């Protein structure tokens, strides 16, 4: 099933430079390419007042450094970034432009934090890049499993074998997973790569 057929999934655009004095970029892995692509359309000096927070997937740091942002922060994970992001958004001035690029899990989680901090959704640009891996919530134990690429998938918290539904919860920034063999736990359907 393609992303366009999932009604509950957010629609992502393409990053474009917006007017403003302060620009905050949050990206992971291939999201760096969305930023560098956008840089080609940005006016001179655009990155002079920009902060980039990047969770690398192995590369692209040099490309972001070449943009010469006001600040580049490298974070090992979204969880480690969360306190810093909350503080940045809480202390943000009127007119902040927020750009989110990369995996759906990063975009969804960063969007939650931004909206909780009172950032208007019209001030947020998003672009999905990279893996289609899903962030999944087990509806049984409520645990979140990151980077799910198979169908079905095993819950990393309770161990149930879950059907990863195409229902996306914006509130949780996750797809819902429901027990696929609830009637007979001995049933074990084949596990296939579904979300590369």
Q: How many CB atoms lie within 10 A of CB 37?
A: 15
- Name the CATH topology of 20-128: Rossmann fold (3.40.50)
Instruction: State the DSSP H helix or E strand holding residue 53, giving kind and residue range, or none if neither.
Output: strand 50-55
Cite the DSSP H helix spans in 50-116.
61-65, 78-90, 104-116
In the chain, where does the domain assigned CATH 3.40.50.80 lie?
Answer: 20-128
Spatial distance between the Cα atoms of 127 and 23, rounded to a whole number of angstroms: 15
Cα 140 from chain centroid (whole Å): 24
CA 21-93-11 angle, to 5 degrees, is: 75
Spatial distance between the Cα atoms of 187 and 184, rounded to a whole number of angstroms: 6
Q: Which two tokens stand for residue 122?
A: 């019209």
| Predicted model pTM | 0.86
Q: How many CA atoms lie within 13 A of 6 on its CB side?
A: 17
User: Residue 93 has what pLDDT?
Assistant: 84
**pLDDT, tens digit, for every residue of 90-130?**
888 888 999 999 999 999 999 999 999 988 888 899 999 98
Q: Is the pLDDT of residue 2 over 60?
A: no
**pLDDT, tens digit, for every residue of 127-154?**
999 888 999 999 999 999 999 999 999 9
- Residue 80, classed as helix, strand or coil, is helix
Strands 50-55, 174-179: pairing kind = unpaired
- Residue 185, classed as helix, strand or coil, is coil
**pLDDT, tens digit, for every residue of 42-83?**
999 999 989 999 999 768 999 999 999 999 999 999 999 999
């Amino acid at each position: 099933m393609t992303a366009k057929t999932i009604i509950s999934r957010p629609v992502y655009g393409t990053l474009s430079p917006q007017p403003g004095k302060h620009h905050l970029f949050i990206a992971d892995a291939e999201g760096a390419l969305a930023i560098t692509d956008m840089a080609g359309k940005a006016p001179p000096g655009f990155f002079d007042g920009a902060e980039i927070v990047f969770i690398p997937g192995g590369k692209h740091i040099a490309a972001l450094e070449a943009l010469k942002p006001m600040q580049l922060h490298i974070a090992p994970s979204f969880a480690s970034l969360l306190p810093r992001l909350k503080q940045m958004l809480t202390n943000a001035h009127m007119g902040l432009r927020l750009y989110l690029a990369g995996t759906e899990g990063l975009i969804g989680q960063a969007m939650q934090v931004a909206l909780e901090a009172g950032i208007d959704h019209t001030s947020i640009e998003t672009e999905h890049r990279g893996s289609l891996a899903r962030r999944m919530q087990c509806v049984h134990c409520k645990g979140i499993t990151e980077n799910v690429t198979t169908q079905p998938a095993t819950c990393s918290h309770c161990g149930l074998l879950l059907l990863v539904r195409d229902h996306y919860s914006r509130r949780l920034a996750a797809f819902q997973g429901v027990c696929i063999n609830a009637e007979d736990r001995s049933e074990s359907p084949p596990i296939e790569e579904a979300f590369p």
